[in-house]
Structure 1
Amino acid sequence: MRADPAADDEALVAVLFSRLFSAQTAPALLTAWLLHLLAGHPREQQRLREEARTVLGPAGTPPTVDPARLVATQHALRETLRLYPPAWLLDRTIQSPTTLGGRDLDPGTEGRVVTYLIHRDPAHHPDPDVFAPARWADPQPDLHRGAYLPFGTGGRYCRGALWVTTIAALTSAALLRRHDFRHTPGTRVCPAFGAHLEPTGLRLDTHCASPG
């Protein structure tokens, strides 16, 4: 039996569309969540602004800038991913006999990993609801490998993770270098738990940042 070429083409287009959409959505949401958090933490915002001006220089974003040089920005993004992980819910199928929480699970059992809750477990992250980028300034050798999963893990780890963080780092640095972000009065932000974790209700006022 021969496969339908048209059906194959449609499947390919669907996959490509999905990848393109995800490639733009994830960095945009990460940047939005970061700006939301920084709007509520002006000192941290100023620290990132000073770093952006040092790394990017007065002319804007150099075409060859290394995102790794944006150290404080990377820490802030990592903390943002902890609080608002893009992969906030992971569907998994048990592959081998497993005991979890005192319950025996057979192969084929469907399970869900709620990354959003794991990232806010005080057993792994002290003061879990506090935005504290400094927690990532030093290595954390004792942090359980399953305690931080913003892009999943194992064979289904998101291949676009580096792309997402790179674009978000460069975009946020370029924005913060010149602009100051504050919440519009009356703003109330709530996470919308859908296919992505979206900051519903987010409104920001933008002002020209004072020269540094």
Structure 2
Amino acid sequence: MLHMFSDVRAFQRDPLRLLLTRGNESALGLVPLQLGPAPVFLVNDPDLLRPILKAPETDIGKGKLIKKLTPVLGRSSLMLSGEEHKRRRAVLQKHMAKGSVEKFLPHMCAEIRAVGASLARLGSFDPHHVTAMLALRTICVAIFGSQVMSSGDEEALVQAVGAIEDDLAEEMFRALPFGPVAWYRRRKNRICAKLAMSTVVQRLRRKAGSSSALRDLEALGLTDRDLEDEILTLLLAGHHTTGSTAAWMFYQMATNPALMDEIADEAAECLGDDGELRLEAVKRANLSATLVKEVCRLYPSAWWFSREVMQPVTIGGRDLKVGTSLLICPWQLQRDGRHFEDPDRFLLTRRYNTDAYIPFGAGPRACAGMGVAMLELQLLALEIAAAYRFTGVSPNPAPWPKASVTLIPPPMTIDIEIREMRPRIPHLGDEAEHLPYIPTVGAASISTLQSVSQ
């Protein structure tokens, strides 16, 4: 017989499988989950997303599940509602919309090239460790206006985020509270991790540019504590989500050498006379853009989010009482055969004009950093494929990701080498076929690739 806690053990053991199985095997609508005394429903019908996500916050709000993040994220825009949320979100959208971050394209490409050169020197790498660091640098450019973070700061932030996220993930759907000893130990570890993050943020604030997102947030009159909470949230959400997606993108490129060669050809078509990627050409680069979309479908970093019923409401034919949680799971929606044909297969011929495709959320609280993430991922695919080849990946196939607050890729190893191509030198004719050639993507690539090959 089902009871109010009957799904808790399965959820704690493997939440991805539980939600995928329950959502895909149930009729479209609201699927009841037994995760505690309060009602919880999984929303597996895309037609219900719009009325839920666009409902007034007085009727359907952020809810108690997200509030479990408060010890770390404090009073950041992710946690707020109403006018204060709108004020802060306007600043974030101003600096992180795709049109705004495009001005950073040369800087982003330079960062990618530097990382690629170091990876080629190593010969193999764990994609998630590398991409998380790179995404952290990019989000810092968007927030602070220039590259201001040292390698030591990067490592400190990545370790602190990992410790905090694992702690919060274990607590998120816990039905019973921790004992006093465990509670105290976890609280102490969380405080230490957040203190490490705060120390780095304080240093970054002192180095921020005058036209950065940070300065516009300061202009809103936020307290130091609120401003720090906002920055910590942006760093956590911005680097971990994009870094995880980029790791899966590398995995798909490594398992499909022909695809990586095609992306290299697309990158060559995007180059200007100076060897740099041209923004207008990147906007027309459909293959790399589709690669990003399909990876986001299979591996949405923000694999779940929730809403809570604040006033009695009827949704999907069900009368919902106050306190009911509505769980929305892009991982499940985007792997449901009713919304995507052959949903577990990686395909670049899909159409994404469906309400079931929500890797960045939807509605007025959709991810403000979506523009940064999509551009960064596309540039990463183009730059790396143009200059390098992935020659192997293990394990293959890769295990499922880890369901934490975000979706974490498993440890993987990708082998990398410099791509060799014959040069296009018309006066040499067929003799060019026998000449080795290392393509350069951007002027900075010449020196970095030469240093790797020596």
TM-score by length of 1: 0.82
1:172 is displaced (CA, Å) by 1.8
Q: 2:80 corresponds to which residue?
A: none
Partner of 1:4: none
How far has the Cα of 1:117 moved from its partner?
0.8
1:206 paired with 2:416, answer: yes
TM superposition shift of 1:52: 1.2
The structure-2 alpha-carbon separation of the partners of 1:58 and 1:34, relative to structure 1 and needing over 3 Å to count, comes to farther
Map of 2:382 onto structure 1: 173
> Would you say the 8 A contact 1:67–1:166 is kept in 2?
no
Q: Which amino acid aligns with 1:38?
A: M
2:70 counterpart of 1:70: no
Query: Which residue of 2 is the match for residue 82 of structure 1?
Result: 297
Once the two structures are superposed, residues 8-52 of structure 1 have per-residue CA deviations (whole angstroms, 9 ceiling, x without a partner) of 312211211221343333332222111111212222222112111
Aligned to 2:401: 191
2:372 partner amino acid: W
1:88 aligned partner, one-letter code: W
The alignment partner of 2:372 has SS state of helix
Return the letter of the residue paired with 2:313. P
What CA distance in whole angstroms lies between the structure 1 residues aligned with 2:331 and 2:239?
22
Equivalent in the alignment of 2:315: 99
Using the alignment, how far apart are the partners of 1:29 and 1:106 within structure 2?
A: 36
Return the letter of the residue paired with 2:338. A
Deviates most, 117-126 or 187-196: 187-196
Q: 1:17 to 1:129 in 2, by over 3 A?
A: same
Match status 1:46 vs 2:261: yes
The residue correspondences of 1:101-140 to structure 2 (distance < 5 A) are 103-136=318-351, 140=353
Flag the 1:184–1:38 CA change in 2: closer, same or farther, 3 A: closer
Pair 1:150-2:359 in alignment: yes
CA–CA separation in structure 1 for the residues paired with 2:239 and 2:247: 12
Structure-2 change in CA distance of 1:191 and 1:51 (3 Å):
same
- Structure 2 alignment gaps of length 5 or more: 1-221, 423-454
Q: What is the RMSD computed on CA atoms of the aligned residues?
A: 2.4
Deviation of the 1:59 alpha carbon: 5.9
Count of matched residue pairs: 199
Higher percent of residues as strand: 1
Tell me the SS of whatever aligns to 1:47.
helix
1:162 corresponds in structure 2 to 371
Shift of 1:62: 3.3
- Of the structure 1 ranges 10-19 and 103-112, higher mean CA displacement relative to structure 2 is found in 103-112
For residues 29 and 58 of structure 1, what CA distance do their matches in structure 2 show?
33
Could you list the per-position Cα deviations for residues 115-168 of structure 1 after superposition, in whole angstroms to 9, with x for gaps in the alignment?
1011001111001011101214xx74xx3x2x1110111121111101100111
Q: Is the contact between residue 56 and residue 65 of structure 1 (CA under 8 Å) also seen in structure 2?
A: no
How far apart are 1:108 and its partner, in Å?
3.7
Tell me, yes or no, if the aligned pair for 2:402 and 2:408 is still in contact at 8 Å. yes
Instruction: Quote the Cα distance in structure 1 between the aligned partners of 2:274 and 2:349.
Output: 29
Residue 98 of structure 1: CA displacement?
2.5
Tell me, in whole angstroms, the C-alpha distance in 2 between the residues paired with 1:40 and 1:155. Answer: 37
Structure 1 or 2, whichever has the larger Rg, is 2
Alpha-carbon separation, structure 2, partners of 1:185 and 1:151: 28
Residues 271, 278 of structure 2: 8 Å contact kept = no
Of 113-122 and 48-57, more deviation after overlay is shown by 48-57
Q: In the alignment, is the contact (CA less than 8 A) between 2:395 and 2:413 conserved in 1? A: no
Cα distance in 1 for residues equivalent to 2:281 and 2:242 = 17
Cα distance, 1:57 vs. partner? Answer: 5.4
Partner secondary structure for residue 31 of structure 1: helix
